[in-house]
Structure 1
Amino acid sequence: MLKKIIALFCLLFSLGVKAQVGGEATYQFLNLISSPRQAALGGKVLTNVDYDVTQALFNPATINVAMDNQLALNFSSYLGGIGYGTAAYAYTIDRRTQTFHAGMTYINYGSFDGYDENGVSTGSFSGNETALSFGYAMQVGYTDFYFGANVKLITSKLEQYSSFGAAVDLGLIYINEDLDFHAALAIRNLGSQITTYAGLNEPLPFEVDFGISQRLENVPIRWHVTLENLQKWPISQPNPARATSDLGGNQSDEKIGFLGQVMRHTILGAELFPEGGFNIRLGYNFRRGEELRIVDQRNFSGLSAGISIKMSKMRFSYTHAKYTSAGNSNFFGLQIDLQ
């Protein structure tokens, strides 16, 4: 069984290796940060297998019985006044059939003033997108591997244009309980548009991510390392604003070496007291930090930090993520135990 699942992952990965990242696919909101916890740990985490019901929006293999009857509501006032949020809920039928998961991701781009080609006002318009997901995970035989899948229905309305699509996420996670070590692989957004905006079929933001994490034996810290966008190499291109000129006026483009490309795929995170009622979370996203960095100015792009506090049957989470000197994001989350 395990060999069949690994073979399926390899096949799906080979079908999507030409997939692109930002700006070259539709429904980009599908890969936005799903919770304050994820935001605090650098933006993408695949390996948390605990009460965090929102984690399954990114890696369905993490669906587990600890999520039973947990409801999570998350919101962010994003860059440029964009508002988006997520919701998730899980329910365990019984110990044999495990846990079913449902989730939603919603984004509202706000209101815009419309004008025709002659500069005449056509009134205001808005844009919003929504994805509904349904997930399930299962143990692979009697191994330490767990396999999960999300099925997603996607709607998008941008001004007078609308689109509908469908996709699946696939996840595989290895859990070593003796070492408290987790390793996970997620293949996201395998699908297509069913109806297009204006007759042109666009690809979905296909993504392959890999992550590992471990809780230290004698210290209440769980560290995380995530490698994102493994479907594309190289992931970064020279920034024209960082070109240099010599005394003769000859211009040289920014050079991004092999190590620079590797680092741009890497996200680091750490969580203090991961199983307690009070958590402190820190993260660093190398790609965000490098691509949003201002030359000759320290602006701490890529850093994120957050806290979580549990009060009775509710857990409140907050994260502040640093993007640029001109724009940062705050993430708020509430998880309620309905049992």
Structure 2
Amino acid sequence: MPKSFSNVIRFLVVLYFYCGMASISYGQIGGRNAFGFTSMAFEPHVSSLGGMVLGQTTTSMSGMDFPSVLQNGQKEVNIGYTSLYGSSSAFAVQYIMPHKRLGVLQVGTRYLTHGLLDRRDALNTYQGKFSANEVDLYAGTAFTWENYRFGVNVHGLIGQLEAQNSLGLAVDFTAFWEDSSGLTTMGFALRNLGGEIIPYAGKRRATPTDLQFGFSRKLKYLPLRIHCTLHDLYRWNLRFEDSLTSNSSNLFGLPEDQSIGGFGKFTDNFFRHVNFGLDINMFQDKFWFALGYNHQRRMEMAIPNRNGFAGFSLGFGMELNLWAFGYSYAKHHLASGFHGIRTTLRFHKKAKNSVEN
């Protein structure tokens, strides 16, 4: 464990500059990393809140992406499935168990498959089928220090694309804080710090590293919790100028070319870093309903003047003592969205998460 909070801050500052230097040479947003599926939200509750949550205390979030919420004595099995575009789909299996030395330990796997694809040559001649799959084998734990809950995940990554294979390694560092009333929470995450050990071909590529900060506030007299998560904090420009979509609408619903000078681009770029979520918990937290908005997703998947509900997401779930279920629908594009489900079987009595556990 860290000896002092100053040591933790110093360590995080070094990681921050490492992330910034690793990305400074890139001008585009996507398509440059290996194992991009590791940035997906595999948990329905997280997906329904826009895909990123760092300040949530509910047990419907298992710690797959944010291990700081793991609790000592926790013992459960989580199984999830996400339907993606076309024949692509994702599966997740997670086991959380008590550990004598660590307090709590999670192990699991996340599997992405694109099914069977057509193999064709330069003349578009059909040459049979091939498969494309990626696997994440991970383990993680969490510990409490003063009023903070720290977590770490280690990922072993395997990729297979036709006859090409890749191996990678990545790590997550997270921190969580909750005030004494439980109304306000804050979280920090450095996700997917790593890269390929054995590349598919050519030079090694980094995993999609992301530096995130999030907070939430629960209303005192209403069953509502508001979430706000900031992501990609080590780089400012998340815009990608594309002449084919130059007429798409900005945050205010105006065509991009009618924005007020540089102010329109500034606000658009700023809100691409922000993820919003609204959580409704009812019947003593036994039922939840969530809404989310991801502005970056909306703008990157935009069709000129026809965005529809791209970037919005919703979900619901039940939380019982020994069993839980969640469903989410995230609209990624005008044409389609992602459906996600998860079921949980607990071997411990459900309890409210706290950094003091």
TM-score, with length taken from structure 1: 0.90
Does structure 1 conserve the Cα–Cα contact (< 8 Å) formed by 2:246 and 2:304? no
What does residue range 65-76 of structure 1 map to in structure 2 within 5 Å?
Answer: 65=72, 68-76=74-82
* Equivalent in the alignment of 1:288: 297
Match of 2:84 among 56, 62, 78: 78
Between the two proteins, the alignment pairs up a number of residues equal to 328
CA distance in 2, matches of 1:136, 1:183: 19
1:178 aligns with 2:178: no
Give the AA of the match of 2:336: G
Question: 2 CA distance for matches of 1:197 and 1:115?
Answer: 19
Deviation per CA, 1:62-85: give whole Å up to 9, x if none: 22237x112111111112331002
1:124 paired to 2:129? yes
Q: Does 1:314 align with 2:320?
A: no
- In structure 1, stretches of 5+ residues that fail to align are 245-251
Match of 2:43 in 1: 35
Instruction: Tell me whether 130-139 or 44-53 shows the greater mean CA deviation.
Output: 44-53
Note closer, same or farther for the CA distance 1:139–1:197 as it changes in structure 2 (3 Å cut). Answer: same
Asked if 2 retains the 8 angstrom alpha-carbon contact of 1:83 and 1:108, the reply is yes
DSSP-derived class of the 1:257 partner = helix
Structure 2 contact 33–206 (Cα < 8 Å) conserved: yes
Q: Which amino acid aligns with 1:38?
A: V
Q: Matches of residues 2-41 of structure 1 in structure 2 within 5 Å? A: 2-17=5-20, 18-19=22-23, 21-41=29-49
TM-aligned CA distance change 1:283 to 1:172, over 3 Å: same
Change (3 A) 1:242 1:50: closer
Alignment of 1:1-339 (within 5 A): 1-17=4-20, 18-19=22-23, 21-52=29-60, 54=62, 56-65=63-72, 68-93=74-99, 97-140=102-145, 143-243=146-246, 257-273=265-281, 276-297=285-306, 299-310=308-319, 313-339=322-348
Rounded Cα–Cα distance in structure 2 between residues aligned with 1:243 and 1:108:
33
Rounded Cα–Cα distance in structure 1 between residues aligned with 2:286 and 2:277:
19
Q: What code does the residue aligned with 1:45 have?
A: V
Letter in 2 for 1:310: E
TM-score, normalisation: structure 2: 0.85
Shift of 1:132: 1.1
For residue 134 of structure 1, give the secondary structure of its aligned residue in structure 2: strand
Kindly provide the amino acid, as one letter, of the partner of residue 232 in structure 2: N
Q: Secondary structure at the match of 2:42?
A: coil
Q: Structure 1 residues 78 and 131 mapped into 2: Cα distance closer, same or farther (>3 Å)? A: same
Quote the sequence identity (%): 25
Gaps of 5+ in 2: 248-256, 349-357
- 1-structure distance, mates of 2:108, 2:185: 23
Deviations 1:161-216 (A, max 9, x none): 00111111101122212252111110011122111112421121111111101222
**Amino acid in structure 1 at the alignment position of 2:81:** F
Tell me the CA shift for residue 87 of structure 1. Answer: 2.1
Aligned-residue Cα RMSD (Å) equals: 2.2
